[in-house]
Amino acid sequence: MTFRRSVRSGTERHRQWELWYERPVIFAGKPMFILTIQKAVRPTIVAIPAAGLIFGFAAQLSGLDFRGDVIWAAATVPVLLVLLTQIVVSLLRGDIGLDIIAALSMLAALTFAEYLAAVVVALMYAGGQYLESYAEARAKREMTTLLARLPRTAVRHRNGKLEEVELDAIEPGDRLLIRQGDVVPTDGTVVEGLAVLDQAALTGESMPVQQRAGDEVMSGSTNVGEAFDILASRRAAESTYAGIVRLVAAAQASKAPMSRLADRFAIVLLAATLVLAGGAWLWSGDAIRAVAVLVVATPCPLILAVPVALVSGLSRAAKHGILIKGGAALETLARIRSLVIDKTGTLTHGRAKIVAINASAGVVPDEVLRFAASLDQASKHIIAQAIVDTARNKGLDLRTPGHIIEMPGEGIEGDVDGRHVIVGGLRYVARQAGISPIRQDRTPGAAVVAVAIDGKLVGVLILADELRSGTERLLSDLRGLGIERIVLATGDRRDVAEAVASGLSFDAVRWELTPDQKSLVVLSERKNGPVMMIGDGVNDAPALAAADLGLAMGARGSAASAEAADVVLLVDQLDRVLPAMQIARRSRFIALESVYAGIGLSVVGMIAAAMGFITPVQGALLQEIIDVAVILNALRSLYDTIDN
């Protein structure tokens, strides 16, 4: 199965968008179209030995012993052929898989006329593969939900009419109609009205969010309210959701270090099995003991436990709005010992907010804000927009300003409600209003905006990028999960960095860092163990890439940081780091638990078989009981509760 669509040829970047859709999605190292074929074949492969087992017993009960053996042997052959084909394909790729043991056990059982054991092994192996398919599908459900929701077309306003267009036709500035039930095809801003959006698939937030005119809308959100229009800010191929889809595909394609560890176990177990089976045969002179050892050694715990547990963890994290780029990142996240964290947009919200309004005597603070915001509507400065947003959130009645004069970087003046208003820096306002220099105590990292009306100072607005609530508790909880050292690394001034770090349990604070210097901080922390870097800006991308594990604030962070990171938070909440680490640690523990328990029980069974205590049929049944228990245990990663 591929995500393919019919599109017209266009520019090279459009062609890249086409190729993204045409590229087969990968899961557990296999293209999805191969998995689809296997999904269709597996029920048949299970049905053949199941039917053969039943008809063989019926023949035996009828006194036709020979025919029963023939039926059992015939029912084993199709499974064996499919298995041998898979082994050949694996060997051509350079992979020595544990399926070889399963094939040897069937061949040995057929060779030494243990036909009942052969068909039982065939049935149990085919059943184990079918159970694996179910477990994989169940584990990756949350991940594939993101892919399945991908929109194919959009409705665009053009020349007074509506037209349905392919996604690659969308350009920044296009006005798009988002109908009820539609998935937003690209990032944009609400033109007018109220947008009610379900972002559960992206962020894990169960309640719909409301966005008003001018608010940003994330691609991939579902419209659960009335139809509304957005103004596209990006091409569809460059949108947030398209990036998420690419990250999901990368996550599904990855192979975890623990899976590679299982491969190394596989070679050891294969060699040990052959030695033990051959030794049992030579020592006892009974070839059936060798068959029993091979049957018991069928290695599903190693084949299934690790990928099922890790993919379950990936799926669980996605449900919480945490996109982990594959099993390798999940396992690394479980072993983190040091944390380097950025300030702006990470520890803080990354957006200036009014934290205080110091109004002159006899002046109402909200009136100071209303006049300042009314005038600042004419400015594109980030501080001006923060003032306007605060006033709108308070429901203040903003008026249209006139006679605007703006000095970039200094301030703005104009008329509001027939009064002359000046808004800007302290020196600018004092100079333009012709008043005495304005004195105001400064807080590190805060911006001070003065407001004058008709030549008189009426108040001062204090804006700051506030620390996220619950930060100290988060740092404490992270230490409880095994993080031994936490370092603040920022490009801000020393006084700003120290003010933010005050009262927080940092082991070190680094300030005025360039992107390269942030990377050096990350590398220097490696002496303490695996390092995680958390950031959100373009300047954080080198450090995110240099860390053992990079975590990006993906909701509002830059595309560069999301691409460089190994983990992306799809919701703008730093506290999601905690469940991410809990899920990673739990998934890794369950994977190892499943492997060690499964292999341990298998080894005990192999020794018992070598000593003649277990027949081939009993060995097959015992091994498959172990396999089912291991898979069910691995699926616990989907359901284990975590602390929120």
> 418-421 contacts: CB < 8 A, separation 24 or more?
419/371, 419/453, 419/454, 420/453, 420/454, 420/455, 421/371, 421/372, 421/374, 421/375, 421/451, 421/452, 421/453
* Residue 634: predicted pLDDT: 76
* Residue 138: predicted pLDDT: 55
Q: Mean pLDDT: which of 171-175, 408-412, 536-540 is highest?
A: 171-175
How much is the CA Rg of the chain, to the nearest whole Å?
32
Task: Name the average pLDDT for the chain.
Answer: 77
**For the residues 623-633, what does the mean pLDDT come to?**
78
Q: Taking every pair of C-alpha atoms in the chain, what is the biggest distance, in angstroms?
A: 115
Q: Does position 98 have pLDDT exceeding 70, yes or no? A: no
> What are 110-160's pLDDT values in tens digits?
888 888 878 887 887 777 666 656 655 554 555 555 555 567 788 999 888
Who wins on pLDDT, 199 or 398?
A: 398
Return the closest-CA partner of residue 110 out of 74, 66, 159, 86: 74
Backbone angles phi, psi at 399, to 5 degrees: -105, 160
Could you tell me the end-to-end alpha-carbon distance of the chain, in angstroms, rounded to an integer? 37
Residues linked to residue 218 through DSSP beta bridges, in sequence order: none
Q: Does position 322 have pLDDT exceeding 50, yes or no? A: yes
Residues contacting residue 491 through CB under 8 Å, at least 6 positions apart: 344, 511, 512, 513, 514, 518, 539
Who wins on pLDDT, 276 or 57?
A: 276
> What are 189-228's pLDDT values in tens digits?
999 878 888 765 555 454 577 788 888 887 878 888 888 9
> What are 588-615's pLDDT values in tens digits?
888 888 878 877 888 888 888 889 898 8
Count other Cβ atoms within 10 Å, centred on residue 61. 10
Beta strand pairing call for 456-464 and 447-453 = antiparallel
**% pLDDT > 70, the chain:** 77
Which pair of tokens denotes residue 8?
């017209």
**For the residues 347-352, what does the mean pLDDT come to?**
73
The full DSSP string for 412-429 is EEEEETTEEEEEE-HHHH
Backbone angles phi, psi at 366, to 5 degrees: -65, -30
Q: Mean pLDDT: which of 239-243, 254-258, 510-514 is highest?
A: 510-514
Query: Which helix (H) or strand (E) covers residue 523, if one does?
Result: helix 515-524
* Residue 249: predicted pLDDT: 56
Question: What is the distance between the alpha carbons of residues 425 and 448, in angstroms, rounded to a whole number?
Answer: 7
Distances (CA, A) of 502 to 9, 349, 496: 57, 17, 10
> What are 409-433's pLDDT values in tens digits?
688 999 999 999 999 988 889 999 8
Question: What is the distance between the alpha carbons of residues 200 and 220, in angstroms, rounded to a whole number?
Answer: 10
Question: What is the distance between the alpha carbons of residues 208 and 215, in angstroms, rounded to a whole number?
Answer: 15
Amino acid found at 146: L
Who wins on pLDDT, 556 or 99?
A: 99
Question: What is the distance between the alpha carbons of residues 184 and 154, in angstroms, rounded to a whole number?
Answer: 8
Helix (H/G/I), strand (E/B), else coil: 345: helix
Who wins on pLDDT, 271 or 642?
A: 271
The answer as to CATH 3.30.300.10 being correct for domain 150-236 is no
* Residue 56: predicted pLDDT: 81
Q: Mean pLDDT: which of 233-242, 245-254, 357-366, 490-499 is highest?
A: 357-366
Q: Does position 366 have pLDDT exceeding 90, yes or no? A: yes
Q: What is the DSSP letter of 361?
A: T
**% pLDDT > 90, the chain:** 11
Who wins on pLDDT, 450 or 246?
A: 450
Q: Mean pLDDT: which of 227-236, 296-305, 415-424 is highest?
A: 415-424
Q: Does position 53 have pLDDT exceeding 70, yes or no? A: yes
Architecture of the domain spanning 322-349+468-570: 3-Layer(aba) Sandwich (3.40)
* Residue 4: predicted pLDDT: 30
Return the closest-CA partner of residue 340 out of 466, 526, 471, 557: 526
Who wins on pLDDT, 246 or 60?
A: 60
Alpha-carbon torsion angle 312, 315, 320, 323, nearest 10: 120
Amino acid found at 471: T
Backbone angles phi, psi at 128, to 5 degrees: -65, -40
Catalytic residues: 342
**For the residues 544-567, what does the mean pLDDT come to?**
74
Q: Does position 562 have pLDDT exceeding 80, yes or no? A: no
Helix (H/G/I), strand (E/B), else coil: 4: coil
Confidence of residue 24 (pLDDT cuts 50, 70, 90): very low
Question: What is the distance between the alpha carbons of residues 485 and 529, in angstroms, rounded to a whole number?
Answer: 9
Whether residue 75 contacts residue 48, with contact meaning beta carbons closer than 8 Å, is answered with yes
Query: Which helix (H) or strand (E) covers residue 637, if one does?
Result: helix 636-639
Question: What is the distance between the alpha carbons of residues 471 and 506, in angstroms, rounded to a whole number?
Answer: 11
* Residue 419: predicted pLDDT: 93
Domain ranges of the chain: 30-139+255-313+585-639, 150-236, 322-349+468-570, 353-464
Residues linked to residue 424 through DSSP beta bridges, in sequence order: 411, 450
Whether residue 106 contacts residue 80, with contact meaning beta carbons closer than 8 Å, is answered with yes
Q: Does position 564 have pLDDT exceeding 80, yes or no? A: no
Q: Does position 37 have pLDDT exceeding 60, yes or no? A: no
Confidence of residue 8 (pLDDT cuts 50, 70, 90): very low
Q: Does position 27 have pLDDT exceeding 50, yes or no? A: no
Cα atoms in the Cβ-side hemisphere of radius 13 Å centred on 590: 28
Amino acid found at 220: G
Cα atoms in the Cβ-side hemisphere of radius 13 Å centred on 83: 28
Question: What is the distance between the alpha carbons of residues 150 and 368, in angstroms, rounded to a whole number?
Answer: 46
Residues contacting residue 632 through CB under 8 Å, at least 6 positions apart: none
pTM of the model: 0.61
Who wins on pLDDT, 441 or 58?
A: 58
Q: Mean pLDDT: which of 32-46, 92-106, 519-533 is highest?
A: 519-533
**For the residues 38-59, what does the mean pLDDT come to?**
75
Return the closest-CA partner of residue 76 out of 115, 131, 130: 115
**For the residues 235-251, what does the mean pLDDT come to?**
65
Question: What is the distance between the alpha carbons of residues 177 and 229, in angstroms, rounded to a whole number?
Answer: 5
Nearest 5 degrees, angle CA 53-CA 57-CA 62? Answer: 150
Q: What CATH number has the domain spanning 353-464?
A: 3.40.1110.10
Which pair of tokens denotes residue 387?
């003032």
Q: Does position 372 have pLDDT exceeding 90, yes or no? A: yes
Beta strand pairing call for 194-198 and 161-166 = unpaired
Q: What is the DSSP letter of 283?
A: H
Whether residue 500 contacts residue 348, with contact meaning beta carbons closer than 8 Å, is answered with yes
Distances (CA, A) of 330 to 85, 264, 335, 479: 32, 20, 9, 18
Confidence of residue 20 (pLDDT cuts 50, 70, 90): very low
